[in-house]
Amino acid sequence: MRLLLVVIFVVILGGSLGIAHTWSEFSGVEEQMELPANVQVGDGGADSNAATTSQQPADTTGTPRARIVGESSNDFGILERDATRSHSFVVRNDGDADLLVEKQGVSCGLCVQTTFARAIVKPGEEVTIPVTFQAHKPGPALNENLEVRTNDAAHEVIRFDLIAYISEAAGASVSELALGTISTDEGGAASFRVYGFVEQPLEIVECKFSEGDNQDYFEWEVGELTEEAVKAGQAHAKFGKEIKVTIKSGLPVGPLEQNFTIVARAGKVVTINVPVSGRVTGDLSFLGGSRFSSDKSLLSLGRILAGEGGMAKLHLRVKGEHRDEVQVTVGECVPVEYLSATIGERKVIQDGKTYLYPVTVELDKSAPPMNRLGGVGSSVGKIVIHTTHPTAKEVTLHVRFAVE
């Protein structure tokens, strides 16, 4: 019991000494309350006195009425990627009581920034809300917003819309030129546009397809767009060109993958890459089971243990008016040391309207570990079948596999 009384006495004595020390340190210092720095808003101009440092409206006897001065949206126009532009919105208090305005949120913290946090606006006065728009998103069209909350029951939330178009000095109207299905006998055509977004005139300096066996099957033509056509297609553009791509007949049957590069000048030189994709069909095509994809003309052998090898069977279908005189032979195989194909005797189906040639694909047992799955850093195998058809002179089969 005596020990407990001693402990209580020591605690009381320590607290008393602490209070005495604190009083001696701060006696004579006037009591103050400092509000957070972001309470006050304004740019130091004539309107900045509308934003007071009061945490709550002082005059609450009347009714605050928030009114946007000017527009509630702003079109920042064309911005190059990562560029920044600023704008200010103004809210006026047309009521007879203090108006509380405070930031609620932005749609994209990466693109929309503001120094505004909170303000008390006296009757008849205004508050300025600065906004900075940064072109950090891919675009091309950006639609963002800033929202503020008020104590006006009729306008509890005010939304300011921010619009911009993100582009280089020049850009294509498509991200990819998808040709769909093309007949090797007939070829095809497609077109797209290149727009200039600056005041300097747009010039097409060069057009070219990626190097490869198929580049000779493509031609292009550049045409001028009228001012009306430019605005109808792209409201933000200043100039425009139409590029028509013509695909000649005779493309190898199978998937089509090319890259079209346009070098344009619009104040500065801009390189525009447009992938070209499609599927070429004709009188010759491969038919297979579950391991074969006709859209990509792709045969999957899967993952194979070293020393085991692999094999798959499918058919080459030949139809059309030239089917009787068409002959087929195995051409290039990649990798040539390990991947091979054998063509068997043809079979007649559909009352002689169609011929089927059995094709056996083999991966040799001696194949060392390798990755031909077609992912990053690897490519698939390939077997090319040559034909005597007047237009479909080649049929390509892609083979995906890995030896482990």
Per CATH, the architecture of 284-403 is what? Sandwich (2.60)
Strands (E), 32-83: 66-69, 73-79
Does domain 170-281 sit in CATH 2.40.50.100?
A: no
Integer Cα distance of 131 and 114 in angstroms: 5
CB within 8 A of 80, min separation 6: which ones?
Answer: 135, 166, 167, 168, 169
Specify the CATH number of the domain 37-166: 2.60.40.10
C-alpha atoms less than 13 angstroms from C-alpha of 285 in its C-beta half-sphere: 20
CATH 2.60.40.10, the chain: domain bounds: 37-166, 284-403
Q: Where does CATH 2.60.40.60 sit in the chain?
A: 170-281
- Determine which helix (DSSP H) or strand (DSSP E) holds 243, and give its type and residue range: strand 239-247
3-state DSSP assignment of residue 87 = strand
DSSP 8-class letter at 287: E
Residue pLDDT tens, the chain, 404 long: 454 444 445 445 455 544 444 444 434 433 333 333 333 344 433 344 444 444 677 767 899 999 999 999 999 888 877 889 999 999 999 999 999 999 999 999 888 999 999 999 999 999 999 999 988 877 678 889 999 999 999 999 999 999 988 877 888 999 899 999 999 988 999 999 999 988 899 999 999 988 776 888 899 999 999 999 999 998 888 999 999 999 998 888 888 888 999 999 998 899 999 999 998 999 999 999 899 998 889 999 999 999 999 999 999 999 999 999 999 999 999 999 999 999 999 999 999 999 999 999 999 999 999 999 988 778 999 999 999 999 889 999 999 999 99
Residue of 227, 242, 151, 145 whose CA lies nearest to 192: 242
Contacts 24+ apart (CB under 8 A), 135-138: 135/79, 135/80, 135/81, 135/82, 135/83, 135/84, 135/111, 135/164, 135/166, 136/81, 136/82, 136/110, 136/111, 137/108, 137/110, 137/111, 137/166, 138/166
Q: For 115-237, list the strands marked E by DSSP.
A: 118-121, 126-134, 141-150, 157-166, 170-172, 177-183, 188-196, 203-209, 218-224
Q: 335 preceded by cis ω (within 30°)? A: yes
Answer whether 301's CB lies under 8 Å from 312's CB.
yes
